[in-house]
Amino acid sequence: MNPPAWPPPVRRRLWLMRHGSVAYFGPGSTTSFGDAVLTDQGCHQADAAREFLSSRSIDLVITSGLPRAMQTASRVRPGQQATTDTRWREIEPGQWPAAAASGLNDKLQLTHALKTLGPGLTRDSQFMGGETFGSLEDRVGAALKSLLEDTSWTEALLVAHSVALRCTLARCLGGNLDTICRIEQDAGCLNLVEFDPAGWPLVRLVNHTPPDAVKSSMRMSSLEELLAQALKHGSA
């Protein structure tokens, strides 16, 4: 008599996407970190993600509620209503944008800024003098818990932000806050995490960029690109 077939666990799929490129400094930029919108490049990245995910049956779309995330989601899943959970918003800097750029020409301050994502982070560490990483960790963890408690979806898309997504991936990988600086999240990237019925994560894909899968045009980290923009326009 043959033993009963082993039933593999049924996992739900969660796509984690960083919004497309925005201009924080210079022409087309805004005075508010939260009000930034997609550039033409950011729209192209979102459209490429739409094509990449076109065969997927996505039951639920969630965004942080910030314009750049909502704009990305509307291009990736046109016609599909997105829900908002502001706990997925990006970690909040203390000064933005002009004040964040001032002083970066000082080598010591630039070195400090380059380490704002670690290594050496604690829960009390602040992002550019603003929100603590402990606060980010708590709200993102609570948002993920709420999402997994929602049994209405089988495959979902979350459009959020670089550090918030790094924090989520670090949690899924069993890492600590210093794992954040070891994970890159390029603009418009996609990650895929599956969750079994007990909520145990299986990370299948990290930082995939549909327009440039081999990263041929990406030589700096996201933080380095941000600081390079600040230096360029802060000294203009």
Cβ–Cβ < 8 Å for 208, 190 = yes
pTM of the full structure? 0.91
pLDDT tens digits, one per residue of 7-62: 888 999 999 999 999 988 766 665 577 889 999 999 999 999 999 999 999 999 99
Cβ–Cβ < 8 Å for 166, 183 = yes
Give pLDDT, residue 235: 47
pLDDT confidence of 1, banded at 50, 70, 90? low
Beta strands in the chain (DSSP E): 12-18, 60-63, 83-84, 155-160, 190-195, 201-208
CA–CA distance, 69 with 20 (Å, rounded to integer):
8
Fold of 16-234: Rossmann fold (3.40.50)
- Compute φ and ψ for 201, nearest 5 degrees: -85, 145
Q: What is the mean pLDDT of residues 63-87?
A: 98
